[in-house]
Amino acid sequence: MTGAGVFPFPVKGEVAVFRGELYRARGAVGLWPYVELLPEPGRPAPEGVASREAADGSVGYPVPLERLEAWYAVTWTFRWHGEPFECTAATPTTLSGNYLSSDEHFAKEHLKRRVIGYRGIFPRDEATELEQHRKDRLQPRHILVRRLAEVDHFRPKTYAVHRGRTYPAAAEANASGLIALTTGDDRPEDLIADPRDPSGEHFLAAPEQLDAWYRTHWTFRWKGGSFDAVGTVDGRIKGVYTNGSWGFADNMMLTPETGPDGVHTQYTVQAGLKNVTDLEQHRTDLPASPSVSTIRVIAS
C-alpha cells in the first residue's frame, strides 16, 4: 500500500492486514463485526473472500475478525517551519495538512483559514518529522464482541427455574396455562414434551412446578433521556425512548418506528456503549409480578 512518491497509503483512514497483505478497510455495516477489505483500483481482490456491495454502491470484501492479523486507524503528522500539522493529502511533491498548534501570527502569515483552524499545502522537501500514528481497532472490537455476547446483546429475555436449573422460557403461558422451557439436551422427567416441537428441546411446565419464572431487561440513559434496551445493531446498543418528550426526540433526531402494537410510534436510538450511562439490568417475576429487582452495570 504505497501512494504518491514514498508516502505510504492511506494518508488517513483504516488499514487491515490479511494474510500478510495491507488493505484499506472499514467496518462492515449490516454484517457486524466483520471488517471489509477495500483493494485499491487495479489490485487483485483478496483470494478466497467473496465481494459484497454496500448501500452506497461501493464494493468490499468482508472478513471475520479472527482472520485478520491487524486492524488499525492511521494518521500522519509532520512539521513545517517547526510547526506541527496533521497530514490530509499527499502528492509526489507536496503535503497538505491541518495546523495543530495555536500560533495565530504564524497561521495568519502562512496558512489558509478553515471553518475551524488553519490549513496549508507545502513542498514535500520542506516537511520534517513525518510520522505515522496507529490506533488499534482489532483488540477493542474483540473486547466489545465478548462483552455483548456475555449479556446477550442487552435483549429482553425470559427464564424459568426448574429444580434449581435455569432455562430460557416463553414470556407467556400457552392456552392450557403451561410454560414452554427450552431445555436443550436436558430431559426433565416430570415435565411434558412440547408436542409442537419436533426438535424435542422444549418441555412444558405448570407455574407451580417452577422455582421461579421471570423476565429480564436493560435500561440506560443517553444524552439525559431514558431508554429501554432492545438489543444491539452493529455493536451499538439500541433503545426505545421512554420519557415521552417530543422535544427531546426531535432535538436528538431519534428514529421513529412503528411500535409492537402496529399502531403507535416509538422513538429509538443506536448509541455506542461508551456514550450511555446508568446501564441497569432489571428482573421482573412473572406469575404475579410481585417484585422487581435491579442490577447496575457500569458502562465502560
Spans of the chain, pLDDT less than 70: 1-9, 288-300
Please tell me the distance from the alpha carbon of residue 127 to that of residue 89, in angstroms, as a whole number: 13
Task: Locate 34 and state its grid cell.
Answer: 466483520
Answer positive or negative: Cα dihedral of 94, 99, 101, 103.
positive
Q: Which pLDDT score is estimated for 196?
A: 86
Half-sphere exposure of 191 (CA within 13 A, CB side): 28
How many CB atoms are located within 10 Å of the residue 159 CB? Answer: 18
Q: Which pLDDT score is estimated for 5?
A: 44
Distances (CA, A) of 160 to 63, 284, 293: 38, 12, 16
Q: Which pLDDT score is estimated for 288?
A: 53
Q: Which pLDDT score is estimated for 185?
A: 85
